Chains A and B, each alone.
Chain A
Amino acid sequence: MAASRVRILMIVLASGVIFDLLLLESENINIGLGSAAELTGYWLFGVMVFLTLFNLRKKLSMIPLGPASIWLALHTVGGVLALALFWLHTGTIWPTGIYEQVLVVLFYATVASGIFGYVAQKIYPPRLTQSGVEVIYERIPDHIFEIRDEVEALVLQCTEDTRVDTLGRHYLDTMSWFFRKPRFFLSHMVGSQMGRQWVRQQDANVRRYLNDAEAEFLDKMTELAMLKNGIDLHYALQSIMKRWLLIHLPLTAALMTLSVWHLLVVNVYAL
């Protein structure tokens, strides 16, 4: 077993032990007519602060704070621990006060977005590897421009060489839409092959009207279209892997803000 897996397993076990100890202690406190919510609340807040530090770890990459994989594992397991602690703390899945309800909605939304991000980070990278294309997200506009440029040069060359504009009109009427920007975002997101099918369909549609010389140019154009489809896949999946944080981080910030207020109010009113 790889060392990283052992470490992750240790983290999971440690979290499980922490939760079990808290569960037992809460039970003891409840039995002793104490306030277990105070204990679980502070632990929950502490875990949430620790989860928030994950973002700080990314920003302080120059400081040796341990491997990012460990931090990700801590963040993931900590998130699950936080959810369990949350239910232990509240004793319900839906509280009564409007403020608490807002807090809970934010908590659940943050957890849900985190789960979505975790699943995306687990599922999409293998699919990107399988696509056969490797591309930096920030360079995708450049790649798309260059492919489009290359395709348009190819179409011009075809018209000049064959003195026939069938492929040119096909490009203008149909394929230029495809090469202008990333397409089939949703189908790439859910793993559908709609983009590939669309390219093949267009190829088949026009091929019957082309002579042999034009067909050679069509072959090259289809090849570029398939490459473009691979880049579209990267664009879709990498966008999701980057943009889910657009939801997760703001939600986390709002949640922490309301949690601090909750902590203050509880100390003023109840403890």
Chain B
Amino acid sequence: MSNSFDYRFDRSSYERPNNRFVCGRATEWGKPCGRGPNGDGTCGGTAECQPFNRNGRWECRRAPQDGGPCADGPGPDGVCGCSTPPCVPRRSMRQLRWRATVIFVGLAIALIAVFTQLTTSGDIFAGSARLAALDAGDLTGSHAGFTGAKGCKTCHEAHDAAPTGWLRAVFGKNDLSGQCVDCHKFGGPADRPHNAVFAATASNGKTGKKTECTMCHTEHKGVDADISTLDNKQCAACHKKSFSTFDRGHPKFSKQFPHFRRTSIRFNHASHLNKNFLKPEVKDKAPASCTTCHQASSAQRSVEPLGFEASCAGCHDDQISKRNLVVLRLPEFEESSIDKEAVLEACGPVADEEEEDEEFESVSGEELNSVGAFLMNVESDDPEAYSEAFQNLLMAMAEEGTVPLGGLLEQSAETANPGTMFAGLNPEAVKRMACAWARNQEYELPAEPQYGGWYGDIVDLIYRPSGHADPVVKAWLEMAISAKSDDDDVTERISDMREELLSARDGAGACVKCHAVTQDTEDGPLRIEWNYHKDTGQSYQTYSHGQHLSLVNPQGVKLADPTQGCATCHKLDQKADFASGFKDFNPKTFSSNFASLNKQACVQCHTEGRVRQDCQLCHDYHKEPGFTDRVTRNEN
């Protein structure tokens, strides 16, 4: 066994691994010197000891572990007699570790510096947007196109800022959501849950918890990343009614679901399917299936009807043109104050002029019609009240044709548009008719009108609708329904006019026979629902009829078999009093033709192990999401 295994203090040197250098001889597996390298890295072992001068004599001070004092001793000049050639000390492991650490830190800092310079428009790797220390990853494809030249600054305001700007950003709050709403807009406040302040919250005088877009949408996850996904647990964070899955604990659908208001068209499915379509005379015109009338293949929540021409015209087209609009009716006069000379001047002579001395007998025995009474602002059943006004109107019409009618309309209804409401009315025809009435004669129609349009007939000025969605009739009905006054008498005349024009049975164009007249709020205005009503009240629900239709019957729905197709979910409620829903103007008081939907209908498929049943399948988070015009302008 080697002696060097003896670790006694006087037989071996004390190792100092903390020293910066180690003996060069040791690194070459030779005999290391006892004294070791100097602190500056030079060899400290060229002499084995540093002789000590005691009383004028130099004494050897070689350490015991190196063999003790040498036999020859120091020279007379005090130089050690055991000199060896110098070695080249090497750095110790600790020193190497320190140097490696410094180098790695330096490399890291250099990496940051280089990457920071390699911005998305960097010259070295131009086009490579990912080579930047600030780039956390690719944006989704839809967002990447809107950063453009402005780059990161589009969303991150502190980007490219001076160090002081960065310092402020570190201790400040980044408003990332503020940048989102530059392009995105919603049907309510962007920073509130579901873009809405719900009634329960508002009733407490609060506006709800503030939300940030980044709570759900985090970018830089790659071009194709889905950054819109929520999960059921997140929904449950606010919705206190907690449940695990749709099929286990989701609240039952409301009793009304999915019918929360009456339809905009008064179409009774039950009576049509069970009675009307079965009549021999219309059987060949009856729809073969629901999809004959409803556009279901691409429908989402609402399955809109295809429109009048495709769905209704086969049976109801000719009914429209039979419901004439009587704008003016010659009423009975007790006496005539019309100046015959003026009539002669305006209308010219006629062959069979009556004798002047005959007692006046009015050619008309009718009352003034409600529209005429409204236009002239007179009582319709009081000849004393309307005679002078009407006879003046007749003279004006005889002289100027349609002009006085337009003037009356503008006086009576501020919002009226005479250009549309009297569109196509021939002034010459009006003159001839007025002249006849002024002479106390019935107006004889030169020929029976075959098509729609204006004409005078005996004592009436009539408009015959040309077909569905006739603009003149629509304009008169809109005027009638929007007219209003503070005067009780005028209000009564307006009411009479509405009763006549908006009568479901005899009203002009038979429009209101099908189109519902609705008053959305108690004090709100009346309106005719000309278009199909999309139910936006349940704005957080989503459903695709198109996808489900292919499941129940790809070929469409056969009415002959009500157990299939649409009837799988939408079952007719034979007992429902559908018509009663249209007796008033409130759209919420109604009876649907169809029974409400039961959750079990959905659970048949949307259950564990079969079809998705997460919240977002049927519910949207945002209310009416859309884009601002900045998107189209693509400003950067």
A residues sitting closer than 8 Å to B (CB atoms) are 27, 30-35, 95-100, 102, 134-139, 141-150, 180-182, 227, 242-243, 245-246, 249-251, 253-254, 257-258, 261, 264-265, 267-271
**30 A-B residue pairings within 8 Å (CB atoms):** A30-B233, A30-B234, A31-B234, A33-B215, A33-B234, A96-B136, A96-B137, A96-B221, A96-B222, A97-B220, A98-B115, A98-B131, A139-B4, A141-B25, A141-B26, A141-B29, A147-B2, A150-B2, A180-B29, A181-B29, A243-B93, A250-B104, A251-B104, A253-B101, A253-B105, A254-B108, A257-B112, A267-B169, A268-B170, A269-B136
Q: Report Cα–Cα, A214/B615, bound state, in Å.
A: 91
CA distance A99 to B119 in the complex (A): 12
Q: Between A and B, how many residue pairs show CB distances below 8 Å?
A: 147
Chain B minimum-CB-distance residue to A239:
B93
What is the bound-complex CA distance between A47 and B2, given in angstroms? 48
Is A31 in contact with B159, judged by CB distance below 8 angstroms? no
The answer on a CB contact under 8 Å between A142 and B136 is: no
Asked if B315 is at the interface of the complex by the 8 Å CB criterion, the answer is no
Which residues of A are found within 8 Å of B29, using beta-carbon distances? Answer: 141, 144-145, 148, 180-182
Q: Tell me if B190 is interfacial: C-beta within 8 Å of chain A.
A: no
Bound-state Cα–Cα, A32 to B193, Å: 12
Could you tell me the distance between the alpha carbons of A30 and B176 in the complex, rounded to whole angstroms?
Answer: 18
Residues of A contacting B144 in the complex (Cβ-Cβ under 8 angstroms):
none
Question: Once bound together, how far apart are the Cα atoms of A257 and B166, in whole Å?
Answer: 18
Query: Contact at B234–A146, with CB atoms within 8 Å?
Result: no
The 10 closest A-B pairs by CB, nearest first: A96-B137, A250-B104, A33-B215, A141-B26, A257-B108, A97-B137, A254-B104, A254-B108, A268-B169, A138-B15
B137's partner among A95, A181, A261 (CB-CB below 8 A) is A95
Contact of B101 with A138 in the complex, beta carbons under 8 Å: no
The A-contacting residues of B in range 283-309, CB under 8 angstroms, are none
Instruction: Please state if B103 and A250 are interface contacts (CB–CB under 8 Å).
Output: yes
Chain B residues with CB under 8 Å of A96's CB are 130, 136-138, 220-222
Q: B222: which A residues are within 8 A, CB to CB?
A: 96
Quick check: A143 and B4 within 8 Å, CB to CB? yes
In Å, the complex CA distance between A33 and B169 comes to 23
Most buried by B among A227, A251, A268: A268
A218 to B416 Cα, complex, angstroms = 128
Q: Once bound together, how far apart are the Cα atoms of A95 and B112, in whole Å?
A: 18
Q: Are B158 and A33 in contact (CB under 8 A)?
A: no
Docked CA distance A175–B5 (Å): 22
Verify A99–B4 contact, CB threshold 8 A: no
Q: Determine whether the beta carbon of B104 is less than 8 Å from that of A227.
A: no
A270-B135 in contact given A96-B222, A138-B15, A143-B5 (Cβ < 8 Å):
no
Name B18's closest neighbour in chain A (CB-CB).
A59
B215 touches A249 (CB 8 A): no
Contact B108 A258 (CB under 8 A): yes
Q: For residues 412 through 441 of chain B, which have their beta carbon under 8 Å from a beta carbon of chain A?
A: none
Chain B 96-120, CB-CB to A under 8 Å as 1, else 0, gives: 1100110111011101100100000
Once A31-B237, A146-B3 are accepted as A-B contacts, the answer to whether A257 and B169 lie under 8 Å apart by CB is no
